[in-house]
Amino acid sequence: MSANSDSKTSNPDSSSSETVKPTRKTVALIGNPNTGKSTLFNALSGMKARTGNYPGVTVEKKVGKVVWNHREIDLVDLPGTYSLSPRSPDELVSVDVLLGRQEGVSAVDAVVCIVDASNLERNLYLVSQSLDLGLPTVVVLNMMDVARSNGISVDAEELAKRLELPVITTEAHRRKNVEVVKQAIADSVDRPLRTPESLFPDEFYAEAGQLRESLRTHKDIDIPQFLAQRLLIDRGGQIEQELTDSSAAGQQIKSDLEAARERLAAANCRVPAIEARVRYGWAREILDGVVTHPAERPASKSDALDRYLTHRVFGLFVFAALMMLVFQTIYTWAGPLMDQIETGQGFVAGIVEGVLPPGPLRSLLVDGIIAGVGGVLIFLPQICLLFLFIATLEDCGYMSRAAFLMDRFMAKLGLSGKSFVPLMSSFACAVPGVMATRVIESRRDRFVTILVAPLMSCSARLPVYLLLIKAFIPEQTLALGLGLQGTVLFLMYAIGALVAIPVAWGLKKLFFPGETPHFVMELPSYKVPSVRVIFDRVFDRGKAFVVRAGTLIFATTIVIWALGYYPGDHSKQYELQRSIVATETILESNPDNAELLEVTLEDLENEYHTVSSRLIAGSALGQMGHAIEPIVKPLGWDWRIGVGAIASFPAREVIISTLGTIYSLGGDVDEESEGLMGALRTSKWPDGTNVYNIPVALSIMVFFALCAQCAATLMVIKRETNSWRWPIFSFVYMTVLAYIGALITYQVGSLWL
Amino acid sequence: MEARASRLLTDLRPGDSAIIAEIIGDDSLSIRLMEMGLLEGESVSLIGYAPLGDPIEFEIRGYRISLRAAEAQRVCLEAIS
């Protein structure tokens, strides 16, 4: 089967037939959700698929390039769907790919329909629609094991005979029969087009033909027969919306369309209802005698499990326990892994510092490039852990139950049950949270969830809260034994979630008006999750993040580095750095003079920190801080805090090291640093009054609770929405919100505190 | 079969089955319901409710589906004779 070994043979006589055939073929995979389509795609493409976005929509484009039987084939994985009746631009992409109308994808030569053997009737609905394309088709009967365990038997040979198509049974998660599927696909790409069976009454085809004619006359466009049929059936669908514009021709089409539908209704062929009746009727006929269900449906383990897991008390208890586990994992267990990445980053930086003399190049490498790479990799533990859970819960069938359990609660907030897990995950980190919104079918719910997810208080805000609370909030005990410090921390966590409710409501009203999206959701049978499926998915998501968002995050870090480095004469700084290293070397070899040398070293370090502080103050970043002082003054902030806020654009916690540098303490401080707390407490305005007091500390915390200072989140939003519009919007609205929140906090706080 | 006030899918109690008489409407929701196999003449049973009473779990054509009550009200049932 493998063509790679054969094509290496150097026999010139056979080369014409042995080498790869010149024409590249394109094969599309379609199937219902929960049929193991992606698993089969991974098995077929060997995990080498390229991902991207189709232009203008949020659908992920996945193409795997393979060579089978000396034939180069592009495998296109289309999103899982129950139907080919497009109701949105996103859904139209699949139809356009199948019709060879999608930019960037060559015309499809064959279709692979993956169907769930344990649920054939409903799965054949999509098969029936796709057969109308007339393309060579291979039917893959996946999940044969599930069907067997449910007592369902399928006569695949008879099914193939009735469909007049190759039908192959597989268990994709065990890689069973995958080679046979490859063979069948390779065989199918050269087959001629089929003539679709006429399932509908003759009147229907006549009307569809007339519509095509009408489009040719009035709009001078020729649409495929398949689209004309979809136009006729899909009342208010995407194709109708695009063809019946407000132009005279569009209006003419609209009236022709309405008239055709009326004539069909009169002929007892009313659209859209006719389609489901015809196709399900066909499916039942095809399956009669092919599928045998057990006479008495056995009380399956899945049904029993379902009774407990959707139980109103026990079900919620299990759900809460699971979510607690997920949350704990990404919140706590990712920590050690992230520390290791930081250690690794420090190690690499150390090597560079040992090799290169102090200078712009070294600073670029250490503070720009290595810090940038570290800033990307640091998110991987959280992303991988979250998707480990999500993939497990999804593959075993629990994820849709979680949405089922939480739907009512989320509906009160104007979203659906599917938004719960992404939003909850965002309390640990919005990056995987935003990536997890891909399961939300409704575009409106998905976008609103993406836009409010960064308001959830993530773990990167914690160091900022801890530093300021420890330095400025007194250790008092309030009523009921509640500590004041803990209460403030809790309020900071709550503020984002509370603000998200009106924001979500406003976003829906402003950007996504229209009827409430429906929440019709299949609840698949439970099954033992497949380790391979889970790891494939974790790998896929991790790779997608690093490749597609990583470069942008990296670039942001470099820009901020440059703003903090230039302009400025760093020669004095480098000289001091060299002296520090030299003194340290002497100190090591001269333990006798330790006391004196340590004093010298301390002086040098202090001077170094002072110089560094002066440099950042004079840099573009420092100048920006000074420039925005009039704007941030109403928040109670001085220019130093302004610099910290700008410098923390790549990530919120950067404000701590920036403040450390500004206050001449060096950038190595953390939220526990007594030195930094001391520096903050004694920081003065030019008139000698203290910069920081409780209202200022609260105003900074509120700002950081609500702002969008996280390049990674913004870049992931760019990737997931496939547009710069939404990350820019997120940044603007959150910054405005943060500013107003901080302003109110400071101004109101100053009245009382 | 005697005429009665038409029953809706939401009128079922857990464990009950009934035959679908009609899906009301021509909009995207009714299309989706039909695509999922909720068609006239098909048997459907109510499995249970989510903890807050909504959505509702049903079984149709051998698989499980969740519908919000507002959505299930689009499904008319045949009167039980």
Tens of pLDDT, residue by residue over A543-567, are 888 887 888 888 888 888 888 888 8
Q: CA A121: distance to chain centroid?
A: 32
Give me the pLDDT at residue A231, please.
Answer: 94
A728, A483, A488, A749: which is closest to A635 by C-alpha?
Answer: A749
- In which element (H, E) is residue A589 found? helix A571-589
pLDDT category at A531 given cuts 50, 70, 90 is very high
Residues of B in contact with A407 (CB under 8 A): 50, 54-55, 66, 68
Asked if the model's pLDDT at residue A17 lies above 60, the reply is no
Please compute the mean of the pLDDT values over residues A185-213 and round it to a whole number. 93
Among the residue ranges A308-317, A449-458, A656-665, A699-708, the one predicted with the least confidence is: A656-665
Quote the minimal CA–CA distance from A467 to chain B in Å. 41
pLDDT category at B72 given cuts 50, 70, 90 is very high
In chain A, % of residues over pLDDT 70 = 96
pLDDT digits over A137-194, tens only?
A: 999 999 998 888 888 999 999 999 999 999 999 998 888 999 999 999 999 999 999 9
Asked if the model's pLDDT at residue A234 lies above 80, the reply is yes
Give me the pLDDT at residue A298, please.
Answer: 62
Rounded mean pLDDT of chain A?
Answer: 88
Quote the minimal CA–CA distance from A732 to chain B in Å. 34
- Burial string for A582-605 (b: 16+ CB within 10 Å, else e) reads ebeeebeeeeeeeeebeebbeebb
A326 or A747: whose pLDDT is higher? A747
Q: Say if residues A421 and A404 touch (Cβ distance below 8 Å).
A: no
Asked if the model's pLDDT at residue A107 lies above 60, the reply is yes
- Per the structure block, which two tokens stand in for A543? 């790779």
Please compute the mean of the pLDDT values over residues A292-306 and round it to a whole number. 77
> How far is A182 from A29, CA to CA, in rounded Å?
12
A459 or A216: whose pLDDT is higher? A216
Best B17, B52, B75 residue to mutate vs chain A (most A CBs within 10 Å):
B52
A95 or A589: whose pLDDT is higher? A95
pLDDT digits over B33-55, tens only?
A: 999 999 999 999 999 999 889 99
pLDDT digits over A43-68, tens only?
A: 999 877 888 888 888 888 999 999 99
Which residues does residue A29 pair with via DSSP β-bridges, in sequence order?
Answer: A77, A112
Residues of A in contact with B53 (CB under 8 A): 408
Quote the minimal CA–CA distance from B47 to chain A in Å. 9
Does the distance separating the beta carbons of B34 and A236 come in below 8 Å?
A: no
pLDDT category at A752 given cuts 50, 70, 90 is confident
pLDDT category at A27 given cuts 50, 70, 90 is very high
Which residues does residue A53 pair with via DSSP β-bridges, in sequence order?
Answer: A60
Q: How does DSSP assign chain B, residue by residue?
A: ----PPEEGGG--TT-EEEEEEE--SSHHHHHHHHTT--TT-EEEEEEE-TTS-SEEEEETTEEEEE-HHHHTTEEEPPP-
Please compute the mean of the pLDDT values over residues A93-100 and round it to a whole number. 95
> How far is A188 from A155, CA to CA, in rounded Å?
22
pLDDT digits over A464-483, tens only?
A: 898 899 889 888 888 777 88
The packing angle between helices A674-682 and A654-662, to 10°, is 60
Residue type at A600 in one-letter notation: T
Residues of B in contact with A310 (CB under 8 A): 48, 50, 57
Give me the pLDDT at residue A588, please.
Answer: 83
Helix (H, G, I), strand (E, B) or coil at A529: coil
Q: What ranges do the domains of chain B cover?
A: 7-77
Does the distance separating the beta carbons of B71 and A315 come in below 8 Å?
A: no
Laid out side by side, the sheet with B56-60 consists of: A521-523, B63-67, B56-60, B43-49, B17-23, B75-77, B7-8
A116, A87, A85: which is closest to A98 by C-alpha?
Answer: A85
**Per-window interface: B 17-76 vs A, CB < 8 A:** 23, 26-37, 39-40, 47-55, 57, 61-68, 71
Return the CATH number of the domain spanning residue range B7-77. 2.30.30.90
Residues of B in contact with A119 (CB under 8 A): 61-63
Residue type at A413 in one-letter notation: L
3-state secondary structure A280-349: HHHHHHHHECCEECCCCCCCCHHHHHHHHHCCCCHHHHHHHHHHHHHHHHHHHHHHHHHHHHHHHHHHHH
Asked if the model's pLDDT at residue B58 lies above 80, the reply is yes
- In which element (H, E) is residue A194 found? none
Residues of B in contact with A236 (CB under 8 A): 27-28
Give me the pLDDT at residue A673, please.
Answer: 82
Does the distance separating the beta carbons of B37 and A280 come in below 8 Å?
A: yes
Q: Which parts of A117-186 are beta strand (E)?
A: 137-142, 153-154, 167-169
Give me the pLDDT at residue A63, please.
Answer: 94
pLDDT category at A297 given cuts 50, 70, 90 is low
A398, A642, A447, A524: which is closest to A82 by C-alpha?
Answer: A524
Give me the pLDDT at residue A285, please.
Answer: 95
Give me the pLDDT at residue B3, please.
Answer: 46
Give me the pLDDT at residue B1, please.
Answer: 43
Does the distance separating the beta carbons of B37 and A122 come in below 8 Å?
A: yes
- Per the structure block, which two tokens stand in for A676? 């930094």
Does the distance separating the beta carbons of B37 and A125 come in below 8 Å?
A: yes
Does the distance separating the beta carbons of A82 and B36 come in below 8 Å?
A: yes
Give me the pLDDT at residue A653, please.
Answer: 82
Asked if the model's pLDDT at residue A12 lies above 60, the reply is no
Q: How does DSSP assign A358-390, residue by residue?
A: SSHHHHIIIIIIIHHHHHHHTTHHHHHHHHHHH
- Per the structure block, which two tokens stand in for A518? 């429906």
Mean pLDDT highest for which of A115-119, A352-356, B26-30? A115-119
A137, A135, A132: which is closest to A229 by C-alpha?
Answer: A132
Residues of B in contact with A277 (CB under 8 A): 39-40
